[in-house]
Structure 1
Amino acid sequence: MIRKCPLGSWFAQLRLRTKFLLSTCTLLSLLLIFLLIIVEKEQRAVITAELEKRGRTIAGNLAAVSVKSLLTYNYVTLEQDAEKVAKDEDVLYVIILTKEGKVAAYSGRDEKQGEVLKDPVSQKAMHTRSPLVQTVYNPVTQEEGLDFAVPVFVPPSHERWGVVRVGLSLRAMRKEIARTRRYITGLGLLILLIGIGGATIMAQRISSPIQQLVAGVIEVARGNLYHRIRVESGDEIGHLAYQFNQMTVQLLHQRRQLEIKHQELNQKLREISLLKNYNDSILRSMTSGVITLDLQGRIVTLNAMAEQLLEMPLERVRGVLLTDLLPDQTFTSLLLKTLEKGESLHQNCSVRREKGDALPISMTTSLLKDDAGKVTGILGVFQDLSTIRELEQQLRRADRLAAVGTLAAGVAHEIKNPLVSLKTFTQMLPRKKDDPGFLAKYMRIVPQELDRVNTIVEELLTLARPSKILLRPTAINDVLAHSIELYREQATAAGITIREEYTPDLPPISADPDHLKRVFGNLITNALQAMPQGGGLTVTSQLVHLKVTEVPAYQNNMHSSGGGSQSTLEFVPFVAIRFTDTGCGMTQEQLDALFTPFFTTKGKGTGLGLAISHKIIEEHGGMVQVESQPGKGTTFTVLLPFLYPA
């Protein structure tokens, strides 16, 4: 944008060529005037000095000639001498004064003889005792001149006998000065014309490339980056033109690069738009709920499924703190704990909605990070487990029906053999009641078969009805040692070595020691029976910590409470009791059916021992884990909590 100059700054509005010409002419004019003044001054001084020298010489010579005439008062001779001197063209007058100050001779003015001149110049000259030069003006002739007064002395006396005055005209000097002035002025005008011509040429040479530069700038400003300026000199302007051309080349290169980048950005923008639409479509189509929070815990996004499951429209809850919407819930604490710990978390929990109903969900959380790895928020993905819970219940009902069928078949199979024996003896009793051998056999077998039926029924009742567990502080190492002592002789007789490795000073657990002895007895019995050729049994105890998500008893408790106080637990302490034998081991099919009632890998037994043991441990809030490989042995791990889940 061109700035408007004030009216007083008219010079700034002129073109560069005009500025250069005006500046050159002004400078030359000032130089000529200065030169004229200096020359005139010097010439005036020289001519004046010459004129003064001539005037002093004429006056001095006349004074020397007039001494005798003044002494003798020979005025005629004085007049003749004065007229002779006055004949020179530039001599205005010649005056000879007596010692009394009277005119003795006055060239061309005889009437003044004997008078005393009263004008200031005459008065000053009359009393001078040394050569005196004064400026005079003749009003009659209107001429300016110099008056030279020389006193007349008669050596060796110092008495003054008169004064000789000679007036010289300055007309010749002024003519010479005027002639010199005209010469210098003409020469200056010639030089000025030559300077103006040279300045015009120089201004043309300077302004033409600049005009080309201006035209080039205008073309570039219009977007024509292909415009080039012709470089015709190697001076600063030529260098400027060269740099301007280089600049346009760089601008053209940069514009092409920007066009390429612009195309790339447009392409990336289209890709990002497509990706956003694709991601939005994925989020809308997901059967899992997705929620994101910022670092302050405010809701940023909810997908459609999350809005449906949480019964929260995004438009209403965007920017609201999740702790204000879902306070004191595992759902909220799990998301915030992810930011606090800086790691992903997974947990099954429940979320209580505005209507008050609890929705079981499976929740996975992680941190949101930008390209630089900086945490920007929290991501939560959760699934509705309601359908899964219903399917699990249906499956459990089916399993219970299947178990009832299996149990009925087992019961029928186990009881059938004793009943067949009892039926046979009952049918034979009327015919052989008098046979002592038959009666002895009857009295021995019938009670055994009845006891067998009774045992099966008792174990079925133990498996079917809740056990009467009396929890009290129990030293688990003491219970293990007591259980092993009951089977040590049997193990020694079978060639089996029992090794005990207990962690000392384990804190007491809350358990029923009598029920635990039954469980440990079943596990030891199974281990001894799995090693008919002898071997080794190692029993260990140690303290372990399990995640809450790995303990079904705690998970079930949290689901039923809707994410209550126990949701604050992350790890719970357990005591792990392991029974490791070197027996025959089991196949995967056998492991899958291991805790099924009436399943057994031995030729004797009811197959209810492990099922009952598994039930007792679950009622303690614990778990039973089995690891086995055929030919390498089996490890039973019993996990019992120190804090029994309420």
Structure 2
Amino acid sequence: MSPLPQSTPSISRSLADIARQIKALFDEVDQVAREDFSRPVSTDVRVSGFSLTEPLNVLLNQVRARLVEKAETARLQQDALDELSKSRDEIENLRSLSAAIALAQTRDEIVELLRSTIRDKVIPFGGSALYQGSEELGFTLTGAWDTTEADAREIDRQKTAGFLQWVIRAHTTIAMPAEGKYPTAVYVPMNAGNQVIGILLLLTPRAVDEFTQSDQERVQMLCSQAAVALENARLVDQVLQMKQYNENILISLTSGLLAVDLDGRVTTLNPSGLSILNMAAPDILGRQLSEVPRLDSFARLLSDTISTGQDRRNIELELNFGEHRQILGVSASPILADQDRVIGALGIFTDLTPIKTLELQVRRSDRLAVVGQLAAGAAHEIRNPLSAIRGNIQLLNRKLQKLPEAEPLLVKTKSIIEEVDRINRIVAGMMDMSKDGALQLARVSINKVVRDVGYIVEGNYKEAGVGLEFVLDELLPDVQVDMAEMKQVFLNLYQNALQAMSTNGKLMVTTSRTVVGEGKDFVQVLVADTGAGIDEKHVEKIFAPFFTTKSDGTGLGLSIVHRIVEEHKGRITVESVVGKGTTFKVLLPAAPAGSAPPAPQVPASQTPAETAGG
């Protein structure tokens, strides 16, 4: 072994040389640690002929082992960071998709969000298609996007190849070789819970072996999220459809439907109900039914239904408003929740007023028929004795006139003759009621009929100081009537009106065209006076045989009017206000086009003045 140098400068130079060689050695070790731990490191370090290789090798092996351990730890940490970053990205993708889907309204919007997320975040693809349905009923193609003609053929080929059933059974994403522009078809089941509700088909330029397990998991996760949204959208759509269906039922009902809650507040009233009650929705919806004018009886019925929990069937309610009366037929039922908890009441109602009016007309017709039968059987038997009585009284009257002291008896015989004449008039009216002959119909203008009758009564009206005014629509269609019978109708109406009015009164006769029922044309005549009016309790009896409020009336005039109008398939109604007057409305069917030729018209120079009397 060579001796060590003795001088201090020599030692300093040697130490400096050793330091440079060790630094170079560690630089090389550091480079190896960054590149490749398997590459050998030169450790031949010499100082003034002395070799330090062996001790340095021991040191370097220790350093190398420590560096390897640190590098492996760093790699594992980086892998964990990469995995965490990927998971964070996937969570962010799901969060972004969920937020966007929450704002989506339709299936197409949801699918478009899903497609754009997959394309931007997972794998590129071209054409795509969606199959929807159920495992029990099968799946059908409900949409295709960005597809060329070749894509459409490939989608159809994939469907017929039976891959859909494979995916449904597997409940997992499957990548299959495809033909044409895109080499791979990716099937992604859309799982909502344990059910497959759809399958998304993606045509991607990636090869099958490039579609990694990670890609599969990420696509599956996104599709499952979209599946829940699609199922929710389907359920919401079902609810909306059911709501619309129920609304259509309410709109289509010809009967009224009214619902109240436990507080008696109106929650539902369909359009027919609004029409029957002649109300606007803001006037009743949301209000206490008991506070709505005219509907207090309806409110009591529904309140009883809620308190008892029992159905009420075929109840007739009378609603009075002003001078008008409306009759409703109502059936009420409690509204139940959980099968036994009452949460409100439902009333279904119809307007019975037309039916009740018709029933009244039928009863009138029945009474008229009875009167007709009585008249047919008794008129001749009554008139013959009356003729004998009148003749004998007249003979007695002439003889009494020759006796000065018989003046009081003459008063009595005159009274008997007057009463016999009154009975004769009643019998004549009964004979008119029993007429059953065929009508002699002719096509005429109703304006001519009402004017002609005006000529007849014009003098009487002027004498009484009562006005007679006509407001006539000259464009009216003709009517087919028995001229003599129809003149009797208006003669009776004019005479009754004159008797009801005092000086300065006025009778207004108005004609117009109207539509009744299912678009049938009618001619309408209003005969309105300004007389004393008819008490409401008498209005319903006005057409009844023998009903009269006049001391000298027979009670048959309006009955005859009613019979004649009905024989012409028309209608007559009356409205009256005590102290203001009475209006009779006569409706007659318009003559069909091409029917019998019109009757001759009165020359214009012979028509009465539009206003007569004063």
Scaled to the shorter chain, the TM-score interval is 0.3 to 0.5
Given the two structures, how large is their TM-score scaled by the length of structure 1? 0.37
Given the two structures, how large is their TM-score scaled by the length of structure 2? 0.39
